[in-house]
Structure 1
Amino acid sequence: MSTEDAKMDELEFRRAVLADPNDKELAKATGDDLKKQAFVKEIKQLDKKITEASNIPVPDGLAHRLLLRQTMAVHTQKRQRSHFIQLALAASVAFILGISVTQWQFKEAASLSEYGIAHVLHEGDYALGASEDISLSQVNAKLARFGGEMTANTGQIYYANFCDFDNIKSLHLVMQGDNGKVSVFIVPHMQGYAIDSAVKGKWNSEAYDLSKASLVIVSDVPSDVAKMRDRLSKNIQFSA
């Protein structure tokens, strides 16, 4: 037998052992060859270990526990998803209610004076907390938009900015009254709003018609409302 044939026989023998180390025909092929016998023994031991490893007994109730764990995991995911949806809905409802309350607060104002109070309440300390010292020329630069002019200094002005007064661009001033800060709105004439006075909580308001705009004054001191009305009605003029 040639060397090449011997190699082929050896290769075929190894393939047969790997395929089935317990094949009875392998005893004939092994004969007295100690190397082949050792190889067969090694593969048989490996095969036995694999068989033993694959035959580990399954603990009682394992399938039930695995099914229970999977069910609980699915339940937890659903509960978390439901909780997230509830939070999102709650946030949406709160947002809508917030907008609705704000809109209601303004729309319920049936007069300029009531709307003035609602505006002050809505802004909180944003304007009333201002502490600037606005000059007369700065105020008149803004009043010019309405064709108006403040002819005399009426005391310190802490705040002067345009604002949205029920979708009408108006001028919002915060001025020094005799007893504290007073909110003043100069509003182009609006249809559908009464010119009157109003009281809500500690706030007092009065609306007063000038030639081309309405004056709305809000304060927590009733006497300051009347005094500021008299002061401004004499010192604000509008061009013809």
Structure 2
Amino acid sequence: MDDLEFRRSIMSDPKYRDNELNEAIKSSEANSKFAEDTLALDVQIAKAMNVDVPEDLADRILFNQTSSSQEDNVIRPNFARRAMAMAASVAFVAGLLVGQVNWGNIVVSSAQASLASTAIKHVIAEKPFVKDLDEQVQSSQINAKMAPFAHHLAENFPYHVYYLNHCGFGDSNALHMVFEGQKGKVTLFLTGIASDKTTDFVKEGMVGVVEPIGHTSMIIVGDEGEDVAKIAENIAEIIKPMS
């Protein structure tokens, strides 16, 4: 379950928990905080909507209906209408509060969710094609492929590279590289689509990270257990803008 799916599940039913949701909550402090905040807000809304109803409400409604029919159809607000209006107002204010909450680092932006999803789909689709390739790519070749993205390597690439090319990446293009990791082959995409913060993701048995580099984004995808955050940190340190 990726971050976007987790948050959609929590927002749709804050009290629901299954094994997959519990595992996502345990594995991430951000997920845990998001679940707690959403549940607390749900409890507040439930309390606000819990309007006490007087025991004689039914008698009042019947009395008001009878009276209104005898007073030339003059409509006067009764208690039931006032109670419903109050509940509606509370619900409206609660909705405004939800909109004002600064989820900050908790919610994954749609742009970054799209980058992660596109990267995962790309890795799955091209895995049969690249699995047996070993082009023994040199750093000079990597720099040539990075030129359209206005960046270059400040030093030699620190991993053995099996495959290097350009590819279509959603509505944009990307540098596509496959290199050696600790747990297996790791895929890197460098695209001109900007992202606003570093974001980790887990999906389809793979782990990944979106790393902003200037006005571009680097996406690293590896097998489960691969330390993609460390790899992204190592590579980001040597990618520099072209002067």
| TM-score (ref. length: structure 2) | 0.49
Structure 2 residue 127 is matched with structure 1 residue 148: no
Q: Gaps spanning 5+ residues in structure 2: where?
A: 1-109
Matches within 5 A, 1:29-68: none
Highest CA radius of gyration, 1 or 2?
1
- Mapped partners of 2:241, 2:199: distance in 1: 22
Q: Is the 8 A contact 1:203 1:221 kept in 2?
A: yes
**Which residue of structure 2 lines up, in the alignment, with residue 126 of structure 1?**
129
The share of aligned pairs that are identical, in percent, is 30
**Which residue of structure 2 lines up, in the alignment, with residue 160 of structure 1?**
164
Q: Gaps spanning 5+ residues in structure 1: where?
A: 1-106
Displacement of 1:130 in angstroms is 1.9
Structure 2 residue 224 is matched with structure 1 residue 236: no
- Paired positions, count: 133
Letter paired with 1:118: K
Matches within 5 A, 1:19-30: none
Q: Relative to structure 1, is the Cα distance of residues 195 and 229 closer, same or farther in structure 2, using a 3 angstrom cutoff?
A: closer
Q: Is the 8 A contact 1:170 1:186 kept in 2?
A: yes
Displacement of 1:166 in angstroms is 0.4
1:218 to 214, 218, 221: 221
More helix by share: 1
2:179 to 175, 178, 181: 175
Q: Which string of whole-angstrom CA distances, capped at 9 and with x for unpartnered residues, describes residues 39-63 of structure 1? A: xxxxxxxxxxxxxxxxxxxxxxxxx
**Which residue of structure 1 lines up, in the alignment, with residue 203 of structure 2?**
200
1:185 to 167, 182, 189: 189
Displacement of 1:190 in angstroms is 4.4
RMSD: 2.5
- Mapped partners of 1:199, 1:154: distance in 2: 24
Letter paired with 1:178: Q
Find the residue that maps to 1:111 and give its secondary structure: helix
| TM-score (ref. length: structure 1) | 0.50
Matches within 5 A, 1:48-127: 110-127=113-130
Q: Relative to structure 1, is the Cα distance of residues 194 and 180 closer, same or farther in structure 2, using a 3 angstrom cutoff?
A: same
- Mapped partners of 1:186, 1:137: distance in 2: 16
Q: Relative to structure 1, is the Cα distance of residues 229 and 195 closer, same or farther in structure 2, using a 3 angstrom cutoff?
A: closer
- Mapped partners of 2:115, 2:198: distance in 1: 6
Q: Which string of whole-angstrom CA distances, capped at 9 and with x for unpartnered residues, describes residues 77-125 of structure 1? A: xxxxxxxxxxxxxxxxxxxxxxxxxxxxxx9x94312221111112232
- Mapped partners of 1:149, 1:234: distance in 2: 11
